[in-house]
Structure 1
Amino acid sequence: MKITFLALCLFLCAYKATSSLIVDTDNYPVSNGGGAYYLVPVSNKLSGGGLALATVGNEAEPKAVVFDPDNSPGLPVRFESPLRIAFITSSLFLNIRFVSSSSDLEVWDVSQEFPIGWAVRVSDTISLTGPFKVESARGGYKIVYYPDQGETGGDIGLVHRDGKYRLAVKDGEPFIFQIKKAAEDESSAGIRSVV
């Protein structure tokens, strides 16, 4: 019994040392599966704006996740881990979804798309553990995509194409943001999109 308790304590200490708590702009821990949050850009080049959905090509409804400089504060997201813990840490694999969508298409996914590369889109498919992690970056956080929950991931950055800033895997050039909690009435406002 004492050996099991000691092993558990050592595991928890090692886990805590390798992961850090993700906090919002008010320095509160980001909830796992609860609450809605805006991703606010840190870069001076992107003053204002936020996340949106856009149609690409012949799509009937907007599926491409974009950063829209004119859509402030943008669409709120929720971070979800299947682990029964209250808060998000940098070591957790996550699903990311838009909050209060009028469509079933709200869960972030990554798919190959010419000429963007691996682009972030929404779908109705949810991964059991999620392919994303939120990790510390210069002055904020970044989202990293881990295909098949492997050890090597690619930074999610912005690719400017056809007048839109698409979220896509752009390793070494991440989209850096701070996490701002959305008010209850803001998170239930519904999905807006850009064309």
Structure 2
Amino acid sequence: MKNVTLLVSLFLLFAFTSSNFASVAADAVLDSEGSPLNNGGSYHIVPSLIGKGGGLGLAATGNETCPLTVVQIPSETTDGLAVMISSPARLAYIAEGLLLNMAFTAVPTCATTPSKWTIIEEDPAGKSVKISGYANTVDGKFKIIKYQSLFYKIKFCPSGDPCGDLGLYYDETGNRHLVIVANETPLSVVFKKVL
């Protein structure tokens, strides 16, 4: 009798665990090789289509004397800077719609603050993505959502307000600012493992 009870218990545990794993795996954000993004892992965020520019990096825009603005690098041969994608949730993988922190793994030598992404409210480009250090930041988190087929878009979700898609704003000097776009095409991206 003990063996039957143990067998049934193990079967139920396996069934419950595997169904939860399948659910998590179905919602997992996948990298360009089809593997789930690791919570706390580092990835290059690049456009999903060829000919749309390179990965993400930093530039000094406006009156900045230090590169604090998140931009897309024009050259499509460049994967850009590595971005650590993490959630405070105790999960091994990043799932779609999970609230996230995004941060470059490298900090410019002129920056005195961490490289965590923030949204700046008052910027000529609109609500721009910058690395932390500004006083006029918007409180909130990022999300990754499936956009087209195997491609994704990144959203910013301010506390208590609807989420907005991230896209590009081209300034007069040619910088491609990562900004919240309203009623425009979001930036379609894939995630490449950092080698």
TM-score, normalisation: structure 2? 0.76
**What residue ranges of structure 2 are gaps of 5+ in the alignment?**
1-15
Alignment-mate amino acid for residue 55 of structure 1: A
Q: Which of the residues 21, 27, 49 maps onto 1:20?
A: 27
Does residue 1:135 correspond to 2:153, yes or no? no
Question: Structure 1 vs Structure 2: percent identity of aligned residues?
Answer: 33
Deviation at 1:101, TM superposition (A): 2.4
Q: Which has the larger radius of gyration?
A: 2
Deviation at 1:82, TM superposition (A): 0.6
Q: Which of the residues 47, 52, 56 maps onto 1:51?
A: 56
Q: 1:130 to 1:181 in 2, by over 3 A?
A: farther
Which residue does the alignment assign to 1:178?
190
**Distance of 1:98 and 1:113 partners within structure 2:** 22
Alignment-mate amino acid for residue 194 of structure 2: A
Does residue 1:169 correspond to 2:173, yes or no? no
Q: 1:143 to 1:149 in 2, by over 3 A?
A: farther
Runs (4+) of structure 1 moved beyond 6 Å?
Answer: none
Q: Which has the higher contact order (CA 8 A, sep 6+)?
A: 1
SS of 2:127 mapped into structure 1: strand
- Contact kept? 2:81, 2:106, Cα under 8 Å: no
- Contact kept? 1:107, 1:124, Cα under 8 Å: no
Aligned-CA RMSD value: 2.6
**Distance of 2:132 and 2:188 partners within structure 1:** 24
Aligned residues: 166
- Contact kept? 2:114, 2:131, Cα under 8 Å: yes
